[in-house]
Structure 1
Amino acid sequence: MRWADDGFRYGLVTRALHWLMAGLLVWQFTGMAVKLIVGRAPITAFWVGTHKDIGLLLLALLLIRAVWGLANLKLRPPHQPGFWGLAALVGHLVLYGLMLVVPSLALLRQIGSGRALEFFGLELMAGQGVKTDWMTAPANAAHGLLAWVLLAAIAGHILMVLVHRFVWKDGVTDGMIGR
């Protein structure tokens, strides 16, 4: 397995970033589902207690993935021509856009809250003690809603993986999943 993409398959770095982020997104959405179903409980406190840290990690991984993806852009397996290729391109852009916007809104809210910004207990930025409404309002209004839109986009992505794999059997998924 090559480190970089090669035009036919995604390389080890691309695959590792994809599956690491997929696992972390499962963690995030499972935690929020537990919160909605169970309410306040010790398991909810544990899961939700990691939400900000995992969100910040996802944002960092997305930025790394974007830089890596741009560096490998000409080496990536191409999208199919026609409507389905365009749909795949748009779908991926929506996924990446939401994976950027959702945690960025939360980060803006955290900075605007006046509280310290911490990452797994390490203080990255001291709290200012002053709440800034223009920074907290966008996330309060849109973070949760856009996160659920992201989940719907992820579900669409998974659905298309299954269609490629089991209905069309066109080998498109081999580039990321393999056989």
Structure 2
Amino acid sequence: MSFHWSDSPLRYGLVTRVLHWGMAALLAWQFLGMGVKLTLGRHPLTAFLVGTHKPIGTTLMLLILLRGAWGLSQWRRRPPHPATRAGRLAALGHALLYALMLYVPIVALLREFGSGRGFAPWGIPLFPATGERIDQLMAPANLSHGLVAWTLLALIAGHVAMVALHHFVWRDTTLSRMAGKF
């Protein structure tokens, strides 16, 4: 069996699928952790899940950058959205998903930098502790990180609902193009 690394007009390639489903799993982990925190409050499970939130978020930011670069390199090869109103709405929905997936970790990193505490996800120092708080860098995340993240979850739910509609009602190949064999 040969793997198709690149996208084609008929299906997404292995790289695109691994990035898509890997990010889906990491996003599910992030939302599970925040859901447990809201449900259980202080609890050992909460401490474990929330303890991974920042490193996983940083990983997600790197993956969205990689996914964006890969997507741009595959732009002309990818299965196209139909040239209909629904196709334009699908393209807009995907663009909004990408924008929010990028915004959420960027403002979180700004908050970490502005905290002055330093940041070393997975033990890799991204910036050192300065001991100096910069409230202007912390404010965007304090105001919007959680709200935009929950908005992202709502968009993801809409994305999944549309995939289900394509698969179970319209019975087209939308799901199979992204869920191809690994």
- Fold match by TM threshold 0.5: yes
Runs of 4 or more consecutive aligned structure 1 residues displaced over 4 Å after TM superposition: none
Query: Structure 1 residue aligned with 2:47, among 45, 68, 71?
Result: 45
How far apart are the structure 1 equivalents of 2:173 and 2:11? 11
The 3-state SS of whatever aligns with 1:140 is: helix
**What's the secondary structure of 2:125's corresponding residue?**
strand
Aligned equivalents of 2:5 and 2:130: distance in 1?
Answer: 43
Within a 5 Å distance, the mapping from 1:26-105 to structure 2 comes to: 26-105=28-107
Q: Which string of whole-angstrom CA distances, capped at 9 and with x for unpartnered residues, describes residues 53-79 of structure 1? A: 000000000000011000000000000
Tell me how large the CA RMSD over aligned residues is.
Answer: 0.9
TM-score (norm 1): 0.98
Q: Distance in 2 between matches of 1:143 and 1:171?
A: 35
- 1:121 deviates by 2.0
Aligned-residue sequence identity (percent) comes to 54
Matches within 5 A, 1:129-144: 129-144=131-146
Residue 123 (structure 1) aligned to one of 119, 122, 125: 125
Deviations 1:106-147 (A, max 9, x none): 000000000111111222211111000000011000000000
Cα distance in 2 for residues equivalent to 1:173 and 1:88: 14
Query: Which residue does the alignment assign to 2:9?
Result: 7
Equivalent position SS for 2:76: helix
Partners of 1:148 and 1:122 lie apart in 2 by 28
Unaligned residue ranges in structure 2 (runs of 5+):
none
Instruction: Write the distance in 1 (CA, Å) between the matches of 2:152 and 2:146.
Output: 10
1:29 shift after superposition: 0.1
In 1: Cα distance, 2:103 partner to 2:8 partner? 30
Unaligned runs of 5+ in 1: none
Residues in 1 aligned to 2:111 and 2:169: alpha-carbon distance in whole angstroms: 43
- In the TM superposition, residue 7 of structure 1 has moved relative to its aligned partner by 1.4
Distance 1:140 1:89 in 2: 30
Amino acid at match of 2:98: Y
Q: How many residues are treated as equivalent by the alignment?
A: 179
